[in-house]
DNA sequence: GTCGTCCCTGAACAGATGTTTAGTGTACTG
DNA sequence: CAGTACACTAAACATCTGTTCAGGGACGAC
């Protein structure tokens, strides 16, 4: 209808194409890929269904574009690992979920899309997880070397467990909110959740059978 | 084609209706509700599409029936909480995932369907999670009272965390297998995973900054 | 026998699906 | 100016969707 074309020369990414991508991101995150139609995406973006296919070739092409875009957004979180010790000393940002919830605007569809990405089984999500795992493993390694974390026989599983337990908060957010009575990904809920997780990671949760003999065995 | 009708009088649940339910369970678990058509379910069950609707009214009615069936299967795991101490003393069966993987036959679609149930956001999954959370909370309470677990300020979050970290293994099984190089839900992988988790729950993972001053600050 | 009941099917329904085609209008290039 | 390039759309495409309809065939009741 109106002349929106001049936008193209203004900014390289504020075009209708980006609008379609964003609309698809939101709808995919909310309902899942197969439950969203091209027409619904087009309506949400305010364009015709044909334009969606014109820009992305097919619905699957759009999905891949959205996957790449979302994965790129999340990769940004891996850029700044800060100082090694900060992860522990400043009680915050110890977890990926915490970091994500803090940096992203409250209504962002990205956390929900991350859930889909990890669960829908597409290669983009698997690769993202794999990269995060590598970072997580390297971090645990450095924390142990720096004396902030206890050494373990199974570094890989330890890193995987901590990453998994972290992401699980995001993935199981809905049933958790329902069961707990509060949203553990909200700012308040998140600090409460993180406090208890830190407690477990510092003190453990179970009582070791006979502490004295165990300590003597350590020396 | 053949006369399968006499089956009806033999067993109350080995009918074509149950076959449809099982076929739907497998397909739903594998691809998700919205990605499976009635015709695909009918073909997998070896019946006509019309029969699916005849027995379950609608596709959504079938989904609800499958949900109820799956939830009932999983509720069985809550029946035998055994002795309180057993959960800790015998290193096994400390986790729900462990228990599920052990009891169910290797090729069972139930774990995958549980994933869908928890993630698809339908009320059946939320109610299941809520019940498991209650059981988990009660268990932690009893473990603390019995001296097997350390007391905590936030019992609810502790129970929720342990349940979540547990289920996350099932939910994130695919990317975990990809990143770790082995399937943590397989018998071998599971024991390796459980060993490290137990280590964390007993000894913690982080080094507490300065134990003595911290204790004096507590008083 | 005839009736009713229930399991089951083939064919068709209207609507939604992803996608293609032909074409319009605007903008930059020569 | 004509010409190309690109964003964009309306309409139609074949196919798939969930669902309905009319009926077939086997069973027990009367």
* pLDDT tens, position by position, A112-139: 999 999 888 888 889 999 999 999 999 9
- Reported ipTM: 0.84
Q: Which residue is nearest to nucleotide D16 (CA to C1')?
A: B37
Q: Which of B121, B150, B171 shows the shortest C-beta gap to A174?
A: B121
Does residue A32 sit in helix, strand or coil? coil
The distance (Å) linking the CA of A26 with the C1' of D13 is 29
State the nearest Cα–Cα gap between B125 and chain A, in angstroms.
8
Cα A58 to Cα A196: distance, rounded to the nearest angstrom: 46
Q: What is the pLDDT of residues B86-131, one digit of tens each?
A: 554 444 456 777 777 778 888 899 999 999 999 888 888 999 999 9
**Dmax over Cα atoms in chain A, in whole Å?**
80
Q: Tell me what the mean pLDDT of segment B33-55 comes to.
A: 96
B 112-171 residues inside an 8 A Cβ radius of A? 115, 118-119, 121, 125-126, 129-130, 133-134, 143, 147-150, 152-154, 156-158, 160-162, 164-165, 167-169, 171
In whole angstroms, what is the distance from residue A48 CA to residue B9 CA? 56
| A6 vs B78, higher pLDDT | B78
pLDDT of B145-183, one tens digit each? 999 999 999 999 999 999 999 999 999 999 999 999 999
The CB density around residue A94, as the number of other CB atoms within 10 Å, is 19
Residue B208 confidence (pLDDT) above 70: yes
Q: How distant is the Cα of B50 from the closest Cα of chain A, in angstroms?
A: 23
Q: Is the pLDDT of residue B217 over 70?
A: no
Separation of alpha carbons B15 and B168, rounded Å: 35
Q: Which of B168, B197, B204 sits opposite A201 (nearest CB)?
A: B204
Q: How far apart, in whole angstroms, are the C-alpha atoms of residue A197 and residue B157?
A: 8
How does DSSP assign A78-89, residue by residue?
Answer: GT----TTHHHH
Q: Does B215 touch chain A (CB under 8 A)?
A: no
User: Over A107-164, what HEC string results?
Assistant: CCCHHHHHHHHHHCCCHHHHHHHHHHHHHHHHHHHHHHHCCCECCCCCHHHHHHHHHH
The per-residue pLDDT of chain B, averaged, comes to 84
- Residue A207 is classified by DSSP as -
End-to-end CA distance of chain B: 80
Q: What is the DSSP string of B46-107?
A: TS-HHHHHHHHSSHHHHHHHHHHHHHHHHHGGGT----TTHHHHSSTT-SHHHHHHHHS-TT
What mean pLDDT, rounded, does chain A reach?
A: 84
Is B204's CB within 8 Å of A207's CB?
no
Number of A–B residue contacts, CB under 8 Å: 189
Would you call B196 and A162 a contact, using CB atoms and an 8 Å cutoff? no
- A80: confidence class by pLDDT, cuts 50, 70, 90: low
Q: The tokens 């069966």 sit on which residue?
A: B93
Predicted pLDDT of residue B123: 87
B205 touches A143 (CB < 8 A): no
Judged by C1' against the alpha carbon of B52, the nearest nucleotide is C8
Q: In which band, very low, low, confident or very high, does the pLDDT at B80 lie, cut at 50, 70 and 90?
A: low
A49 CB-to-strand C distance under 7 Å: yes
pLDDT band at A7 (very low <50, low <70, confident <90, very high): very low
- Can you give the C-alpha Rg of chain A in angstroms? 21
Structure tokens at B130: 């809520």
Give the best residue of A119, A128, A181 to mutate against chain B (max B CB count within 10 A): A119
pLDDT at residue number A14: 64
Give the contacts of A98 (CB within 8 A, at least 6 positions apart). Answer: A92, A190, A194
Chain A residues touching residue B118 (CB < 8 angstroms) = 172, 175
Calculate Rg over the CA atoms of chain B: 22
pLDDT top residue among B23 and B97? B23
Q: Does domain A12-66 have CATH number 1.10.10.60?
A: yes
For A146, the closest chain B residue by CA position comes to B207
The set of residues, in sequence order, having a beta carbon less than 8 Å from that of B108 and lying 6+ positions away, is: none
Burial class (CB in 10 A: 0-12, 13-18, 19+), A154: middle
Answer whether residue A48 shows pLDDT above 60: yes
Q: What confidence category does residue A42 fall into, taking pLDDT thresholds of 50, 70 and 90?
A: very high
| Residue contact A204–B202, C-beta within 8 A | yes
Asked if residues A201 and B200 have their Cβ atoms less than 8 Å apart, the reply is yes
Confidence grade of residue A79 (pLDDT, cut at 50, 70, 90) = low
Q: Domain segments of chain B: what residues?
A: 12-66, 70-202
Give the up-direction half-sphere exposure of residue B88: CA atoms within 13 A in the CB hemisphere. 20
Q: Which of B97, B4, B7, B20 is nearest to B59 (CA)?
A: B20
Q: Which residue of B has its CA nearest to A191?
A: B157
Name residue A149's beta-bridge partners. Answer: B206
- The closest CB to that of B157, out of A119, A175, A192, belongs to A192
Closest CA to A160 of A138, A184, A175: A138
CA neighbor of B187 nearest in space, from B113, B120, B98:
B98
Q: Nearest 10 degrees: CA dihedral of B28, B22, B4, B47?
A: 0
- Tell me what pLDDT residue A217 has: 42
> In terms of C-beta density within 10 A (0-12 exposed, 13-18 middle, 19 or more buried), how is residue B203 classed?
middle
- Residue B126 pLDDT: 93
Distance from CA of A35 to the nearest CA of B (A): 6
Distances in whole angstroms, Cα of residue A130 to Cα of each of A66, B96, B188: 19, 25, 21
Cα B26 to Cα A15: distance, rounded to the nearest angstrom: 42
Residues B189, B176: Cα–Cα separation, whole Å: 11
Query: How confident is the model over A43-62, as a mean pLDDT?
Result: 96
The tokens 């594998």 sit on which residue?
Answer: B30
Does B176 contact A164 at a Cβ distance shorter than 8 Å?
Answer: yes
A198 contact B CB<8A: yes
Taking only the tens place, the pLDDT of each residue in B36-46 is: 999 999 999 99
- Would you call A215 an interface residue with chain B, using a CB distance cutoff of 8 Å? no
pLDDT band at B5 (very low <50, low <70, confident <90, very high): very low
A149 chain-B contacts, CB cut-off 8 A: 205-207
Q: How far apart are the first and last CA of chain A?
A: 78
Residue A212 — pLDDT band, cuts 50, 70, 90? Answer: low
In window 116-145 of A, residues with CB < 7 A from nucleic chain C are none
Q: A148 and B176: CB-CB below 8 Å?
A: no
pLDDT at B82: 53
């Amino acid at each position: 209808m109106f002349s929106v074309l001049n936008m193209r020369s203004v900014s390289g990414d504020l075009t209708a194409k980006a609008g379609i991508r964003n609309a698809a991101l939101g709808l995919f995150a909310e309902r899942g890929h197969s439950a969203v139609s091209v027409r619904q995406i087009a309506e949400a973006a305010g364009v015709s269904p044909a334009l969606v296919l014109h820009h992305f070739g097919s619905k699957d092409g759009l999905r891949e574009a959205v996957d790449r875009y979302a994965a790129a957004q999340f990769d940004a979180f891996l850029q700044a690992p800060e100082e090694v010790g900060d992860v522990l000393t400043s009680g915050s940002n110890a977890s990926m979920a915490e970091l994500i919830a803090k940096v992203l605007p409250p209504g962002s569809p990205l956390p929900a899309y991350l859930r889909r990405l990890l669960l829908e089984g597409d290669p983009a999500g698997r690769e993202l997880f794999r990269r995060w795992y590598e970072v997580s493993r390297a971090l645990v390694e450095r924390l142990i070397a720096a004396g902030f974390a206890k050494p373990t026989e199974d570094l890989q599983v330890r890193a995987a467990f901590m990453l998994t337990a972290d992401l699980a908060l995001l993935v199981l957010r809905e049933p958790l909110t329902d069961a707990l009575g509060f949203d553990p990904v909200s700012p308040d809920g998140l600090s409460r959740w993180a406090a208890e997780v830190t407690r477990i990671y510092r003190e453990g949760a179970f009582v070791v059978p006979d502490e004295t003999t165990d300590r003597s065995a350590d020396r």
